[in-house]
Amino acid sequence: MRKAVVILGSLAVLAACSGNTTNTASGAIPVEASDDACKVAKTEASTGTVTFEVANKGTKVTEFYLYAEGDRILGEVENIGPGLSRKLIVEVTEAGKFQTACKPGMKGDGIRGDFTVKGDSKKSTEGDALLAEATKSYQRYVNSQADQLLVKTEEFVNAVKAKKVDDAKALFPVSRIYWERIEPVAESFGDLDPKIDGREDVIAEGMAFTGYHRLEKDLWESGLQADSEKIADQLLVDVKEIVAKAKAVELTPVQLANGAKELLDEVATGKITGEEDRYSHTDLWDFRANVDGSQAAIAALRPVVEQKDKALASTLDVKFKALDEALEKHRKGDGFKLYTELSKDEVKALAEAVDALGEPVSKVAEVVSAK
Amino acid sequence: MSGFSRRRLLGYAGAGVALAGAGATAGVLATKESPEVENVAAAKVPFRGDVQAGIITPAQDHMHFVALDVKTTSRDELIDLLKQWTVAAERMTAGQEAAENGAVGGNAEAPPKDTGEALDLPASALTITIGFGPSLFDDRFGLKDKRPAGLIDLPRFPQDDLDPARSNGDICIQACANDPQVAVHAIRNLVRIGFGRVAVRWSQLGFGRTSSTTRSQATPRNMFGFKDGTRNIKAEDTELLKEHVWVTKEDGPDWLVGGTYLVTRRIRMHIEIWDRTSLSEQEQIIGRTKGEGAPLGQQKEFDEPDLHVRGAGGVPLIGEVSHIRLASPESLNGARILRRGYNFTDGSDGLGHLDAGLFFVAFNRDSRKQYVPMQQALSTKDEMMEYVEHTSSGHFAVPPGVKEGGFWGDTLFR
């Protein structure tokens, strides 16, 4: 979901680059930026794509901005050296009063000018009650899982610290259930994810191998190490931090839908191959949890999907059920069979069920974002 | 000649082979005035020169790449093999059989010296390029002192999932041609000549070039559906080639001057998952639009990416972890590489997915300063890593071109 956050932020501008632009280079508005002036050749435009061609005629490196009310940045181009010319393409969806700014020396409020955009405004989706309810409902789910994540991780950490290896082994896949259910949310917090859930092969140079999988290796393979206790303490600290952050995060419906898809991607690349839990082979616990999380996100969006695309809603139901059935065959005791106990055919059947579900789930973002 | 279709010309050139029995040159050279024909798929590429062919040669459409382990422990046998290979390779790039009267016309009681599947086919711009891996420079052949400092064992990059059985090797041979059968024929016959002295360690077929290496070639697309290698160094960029590709006297060692370093990476792409990703996300991951291939924030493919343009909320349009930002010379202290990769599809993975991706091939002057820092940045930060897996790796020193009377690698064995 890290990706989704970035994408939404720039969606408006992205649209400008996707081909259907009406303004060509010739339709661009020339801007002459000098050390003490910011001459914008035209201070009025229509809604849609607005292109500025910024030429730095001054002696200082400069920047050019387009601001909406309250200094909300709509677009900017930085680092324009003296004598250079650069382009800024902005998709302006609302009519209204805007401001342009050149910032010679790349600091301060800059040299401002008024800029007016006229024409039809695109309708905002804010206020769509069903969507608002969807995100609220998923937020409640994230909160409940985050609480459990903290509780179970604490139990796991305590078992490791008490050197109760068998207890710790039993708690390992259980505490991970709550992590895996909300993984895309957790992943959106940069460095915390690799610290908590990094696999040994994924760790970047200069970074220590810590978190769940380091303890997994200790418990199943190398035996508890001198620093296992320290690793366990750190895991709890990191999980506490991520729980607090996860509860505060605000998600859009499209992020929710993409999160549901990403959880299935996680299954397809990590769990179906047995790569995630390579020492304990408890991949099917994580598998189950990813599917749960995906289902929870889709369930939150279901009223919207139901309203906009009834057929997709029922396809999702059918495919989730089929994957459930394929997965539940491998229940054993309180949990699941080990990955190593699955035959090649059984793994393939699971992979196919994940693919079958992944396709319709990938269509949800489009449906919920449709106007 | 403008009405001359490529297919017809191929047929014509093919007939030329059959009639002349020697080469496709006659039919092709006769039509050289027309620029359309100059690019013709059937043409001959000279084997000898200052640099080996197959590096800045306009990228052909198909590739067969092989890595070999040397089995003989005799230096003389190895040199002898390199000489035999040189003769066969030169003949095949000229559209001839691997040996005279190779496929038919030899002793009927002997197995044919050429395997025959390229009979009647034109040269197809075949190039054959050789490289030497780090493992060749051990005690076996007295080459220990000749190992170039730049021929490092590549470091392990985060998220590598390399299969040792299809990585590295003592020697590599890259055959590229516009007809896949011609490329495979070349490798097959060279391997055959080497039996007993070398053994195949791994090999890789590639279809669909993913890079353009000259300005006249359109930028092709990779298996993600994006134009790949827009900012590649081109054959016309003589200064850039000097700076980024060819090993100089100052770089050393002497035997490698005019050569380069070759990096291969088999990059499996999780294409099924990629295909479920929204267009805006795909474009954000790459940093370019899918249709035109323009850098985000610009309009045309060859517009320079502007890493300093920001959109709503001050978010960079070319994201901090997008592929083209991380791989850009601007982010890598000016480091650039010459890419010459191919798409591949090696059947399926047994889980209902295609085993497809990019066989990444790059040439650079010093991998320690160019490829390695680039890959370190990519494997650590690139969003695209969620969709790819590096499954094979190779690093080879590519000797300079073969001069008249010389043989492959003669500068090394002098």
Of A140 and A23, which is predicted with more confidence? Answer: A140
**Mean pLDDT score, A305-319:** 93
Determine the structural domain holding residue B215 and report its residue range: 44-413
Does the pLDDT at position B337 exceed 70? yes
Q: Which of A6-10, A63-67, B64-68, B217-221 has the lowest mean pLDDT?
A: A6-10
- Closest-CA distance of chain B to residue A17, Å: 6
**Mean pLDDT score, B6-10:** 34
- Cβ neighbours around A244 below 10 Å, total: 11
What tokens appear for A191 in the block?
């460095």
pLDDT of residue A122: 63
Which percentage of chain B shows pLDDT scores above 70?
90
**Mean pLDDT score, A58-71:** 90
pLDDT of residue A74: 86
Selected residues 186-205 of chain A with any CB under 8 Å from a CB in chain B: 201-205
Q: Which of A251-255, B134-138, B236-240, B380-384 has the lowest mean pLDDT?
A: A251-255
The domain covering A129-369 belongs, at the CATH homologous superfamily level, to M75 peptidase, HXXE motif (1.20.1420.20)
Q: How far apart are CA B61 and CA A302, in angstroms?
A: 47
What tokens appear for B170 in the block?
């003592």
Collapse the DSSP code of A313 into the 3-class scheme (helix H, G, I; strand E, B; otherwise coil) and give the result.
helix
pLDDT tens, position by position, A169-215: 999 999 999 999 998 887 777 678 889 998 888 777 778 899 999 99
pLDDT of residue B271: 95
| B283 within 8 A of B296, measured Cβ to Cβ | yes
Angle subtended by helix axes A253-266 and A344-362, to nearest 10: 170
Selected residues 259-298 of chain A with any CB under 8 Å from a CB in chain B: 261, 265, 268-269, 272
Which of A84-88, B204-208, B234-238 shows the highest mean pLDDT?
A: B204-208
**Short-list A283, A299, A271, CA closest to A336:** A283
Does the pLDDT at position A127 exceed 70? no
| A87 within 8 A of A63, measured Cβ to Cβ | no
**Mean pLDDT score, B238-257:** 95
pLDDT of residue B3: 35
Of B310, B315, B320, the CB nearest to A78: B310
In chain A, where the domains are located: 10-118, 129-369
Q: How far is CA B153 from CA B157, B315, B397, in A?
A: 12, 39, 12
Radius of gyration of chain A (CA): 26
Confidence bin at B40 (pLDDT 50/70/90): low
Q: In the predicted model, what is the mean pLDDT of chain A? A: 86
Q: How far apart are CA B244 and CA B318, in angstroms?
A: 25
- The residue whose two tokens read 């279709």 is B5
Does the pLDDT at position A4 exceed 90? no
pLDDT of residue A79: 87
Task: Compute φ and ψ for A225, nearest 5 degrees.
Answer: -105, 170
Does the pLDDT at position B365 exceed 50? yes
Does the pLDDT at position B39 exceed 70? no
Q: Which of A289-303, B4-18, B47-61 has the lowest mean pLDDT?
A: B4-18
pLDDT of residue A120: 82
Please tell me if residue A349 touches chain B, with a CB cutoff of 8 Å.
Answer: no
Of A14, A269, A365, the CB nearest to B296: A14
Collapse the DSSP code of B149 into the 3-class scheme (helix H, G, I; strand E, B; otherwise coil) and give the result.
coil
Which of A24-38, B358-372, B378-392 shows the highest mean pLDDT?
A: B358-372
Fold of A10-118: Immunoglobulin-like (2.60.40)
Per DSSP, the residues of A203-268 read PPTT----SHHHHHHIIIII---TTHHHHHHHHHHHHHHHHHHHHH----HHHHHHHHHHHHHHII
Task: Compute φ and ψ for A241, nearest 5 degrees.
Answer: -65, -40
**Mean pLDDT score, A126-142:** 82
Which residue in A74, A76, A250 has the most chain B C-beta atoms within 10 A of its own C-beta, making it the best mutation to test that interface?
A: A76
Judged by CB atoms closer than 8 Å, whether chains meet at A11 and B280 is answered as yes
Domain count along chain B: 1
- β-pairing, A96-102 with A111-118? antiparallel
Extract the runs of DSSP E, i.e. beta strands, from chain A. 29-33, 38-40, 44-46, 48-56, 62-68, 72-80, 85-92, 96-102, 111-118, 331-332, 335-336
pLDDT of residue B210: 80
**Mean pLDDT score, B320-349:** 94
* Closest residue in chain A to residue B373, using alpha carbons only: A205
pLDDT tens, position by position, A91-119: 888 899 999 999 998 888 899 999 999 98
Judged by CB atoms closer than 8 Å, whether chains meet at B386 and A25 is answered as no
| B245 within 8 A of B367, measured Cβ to Cβ | no
Q: How far apart are CA A95 and CA A44, in angstroms?
A: 11
pLDDT of residue A6: 35
Interface confidence, given as ipTM, is 0.73
- The residue whose two tokens read 């898809």 is A261
pLDDT of residue A251: 82
| B93 within 8 A of B87, measured Cβ to Cβ | no
DSSP-derived secondary structure letter, B198: E
Which percentage of chain A shows pLDDT scores above 70?
91
* Closest residue in chain A to residue B310, using alpha carbons only: A76
**Mean pLDDT score, B253-272:** 97
Q: Which of A155-164, A269-278, A279-288 has the lowest mean pLDDT?
A: A269-278
- Closest-CA distance of chain A to residue B348, Å: 12
pLDDT of residue A19: 36
pLDDT tens, position by position, B64-73: 999 999 999 9
pLDDT tens, position by position, B63-103: 999 999 999 999 999 999 999 999 999 999 999 999 998 99
Please tell me if residue A352 touches chain B, with a CB cutoff of 8 Å.
Answer: yes
Q: How far is CA B164 from CA A306, B79, B161, B308, B395, in A?
A: 50, 27, 10, 41, 13
**Mean pLDDT score, B254-262:** 97
Judged by CB atoms closer than 8 Å, whether chains meet at A73 and B312 is answered as yes
Confidence bin at A126 (pLDDT 50/70/90): very low
Q: In the predicted model, what is the mean pLDDT of chain B? A: 89
pLDDT of residue A9: 34
Please tell me if residue A345 touches chain B, with a CB cutoff of 8 Å.
Answer: no
| Sheet architecture: strand order including A62-68 | A44-46, A111-118, A96-102, A62-68, A72-80, B309-310
Does the pLDDT at position B8 exceed 80? no
Entry pTM: 0.82
Q: How far apart are CA B70 and CA B195, in angstroms?
A: 10
Q: Which of B14-18, B198-202, B206-210, B342-346 has the lowest mean pLDDT?
A: B14-18
Please give, one letter per residue, the 3-state secondary structure of B125-147: CCEEEEEECHHHCCCCCCCHHHC
pLDDT of residue B49: 95
Does the pLDDT at position A1 exceed 80? no
**Mean pLDDT score, B237-246:** 94
Confidence bin at B36 (pLDDT 50/70/90): very low
**Mean pLDDT score, B220-236:** 92
Which percentage of chain B shows pLDDT scores above 90?
79
Q: How far apart are CA B310 and CA B316, in angstroms?
A: 4
Residue A138, by phi and psi: left (phi above 0), alpha (psi -120 to 50) or beta? alpha
Confidence bin at A21 (pLDDT 50/70/90): very low
Confidence bin at A60 (pLDDT 50/70/90): very high
Q: Give chain A positions within 8 Å (CB) of B348.
A: none
Q: Give chain A positions within 8 Å (CB) of B383.
A: 2-3
Q: How far apart are CA A185 and CA A192, in angstroms?
A: 11
pLDDT of residue B208: 86
pLDDT of residue B196: 94
